[in-house]
Structure 1
Amino acid sequence: MSVPGGSVLQPLRAASDALRMLRQGPPDPEAARAATLRVIDAIEASLRRLLRDDPDASIELRLRALAPDELAPEQVVAELRQRDRIGIESAAYFHELLGIRRRLAEGSPGTPRDAETALRAAERLEREVADAAARPVAPPPPVSEAPPPPLEETPEAEYPAPEPVSRGVPPWLWAVAALGLLLVVLLGVWLSLGRRDSSLEEGIALFRSGELARAEPHFQRHAQANPRDATPRLYLARIYRRTGEPDSAAAELRRALDLAPEDAGVYRELGLLFLDLGQNEPAIRPLRRAVELDPDNAEGWIMLIQALRLAGQQGAAQRVLAQAPAEVRALLQSARGPESRGSAPR
């Protein structure tokens, strides 16, 4: 069953014990400090996922969103504010939390106000994400399936009077009849394919507009009508990952891999699923495979480099970066900026 916010709020839900401790009152100052830091980190991770799942953001920005060394926390908040994904109050709370985190990380003792600020920021973010998930999105223009206008009939008077014919059927008439029958068959096939593809096209349009619940049945119908097509399975996996249903997402990815074992997009989605679950090391293998299958795809390279960095394999990430296409190297270097190269921002 999907929940509002889905995978976006998963880091915050994973920190539920720290939130509970702050609400009840920590047993000692050190416990309060650790719980506050954990909640702040979870809020940042949720904000990064919110930006990563923003369909209006560029693919480069979405790929950089999960990596602190590619996009600083302040930049994440600025991008979300620019797109009206969070309110100004949430942005102000998070900027205050960044100052608290820096102070606590340096060893300063925590205060009751630190814990209260972290709690309020977490509660506000949960409300905003839930409200955004429930907010209706303008539906995309419907795909027209109207039949072509009927041909205008020519008045009978304009046709010449038929000449008497022999009782035998001329050979050319059989050829014309066969050609007409063939055209009827081809027209039926074309109309059938058009109806079949409309479910997939409408599902993709709804998915891109953020209407995941409305998109799902379109992909289900197309998958049922076209059991050998991996595309609807891939989109269903994307929907289930975003709505917090990792088991369903994994099941769809298994089906997609059975149908298209050489599809790089399926491997990229599998890597994203592992990253969403916090399993950074297992994400590396499918992302490597995605790069092998589609070495010209910049998205796959960036995701692999991010997975290696998140798994703590900085040397391997640097080696992959050196092998990546020039556009990937330029993108990641420009994203980090000269002042941040060599050290990841907090």
Structure 2
Amino acid sequence: MRSMKRALFYFVVALFTVSCAGMSLFSGAKGEFDAGLTLFNRGVYDQAVPHFLKATELDPEFDQAYLYLGRSYLSLGRWGDAVQPLRTAYRLAPAETQKEIGSILFDALLSTAVGDLKKGEFLPAIEHLREGLALNPSSPQAKNELAGAFVGYGGALLRDGRVTDAISAFQQALGVAPGSLDAYLGLAKAFMSQGEPVKAKEAADSAIRIAPGKSRTLNDMLERIGTPR
């Protein structure tokens, strides 16, 4: 009987210890978050970041900590750093707040993609823009940026002599933005490089239909690349 009481006593002590540890853990995460939020609201974003990071380390399910970590990075112009915590915040958030967080994540993805494109990093830009379009499929800006990324990638492939891959990239650009003049011009160049003048002419004619006011300029350009008129 005495041994049973002793065992029960140790069990209660252990349970209390674990409970206190859990309370301390979540209290610590909340304390770090509150400290970060105070700094965030004061506009001291660089100082807020370590607190939000610590909060996410202490409580990996703390959706608001991820959200404000991402927002802090956005306020600092660190678009790429903002994406991952915002992804996590979006995943963890309750349904009623997902739309708002998705909008913030969308902006971060687009800004990151624009930065990628400025550095000539087409594939990361394409992936970021695709993810953005999954969040906001009707966004004209995301579609135009994605089409531009495919055109830029196609041009780079064409310069490297990867003509078939370039054609695929230009066609993907047209799949996103069917009225892309640059995509049709790229296709015309690529088909000529591949020795397919008929397809090149079709692409060139499509370019002229899109921009009839520039037909003379386009004809001159297309003659220079050897497209039959």
Please state which band the TM-score falls in when normalised by the shorter chain.
0.3 to 0.5
Length-normalised TM-score, structure 1? 0.28
The one of the two structures with greater contact order (alpha-carbon pairs below 8 A, sep at least 6) is: 1
TM-score normalised to structure 2 length = 0.40
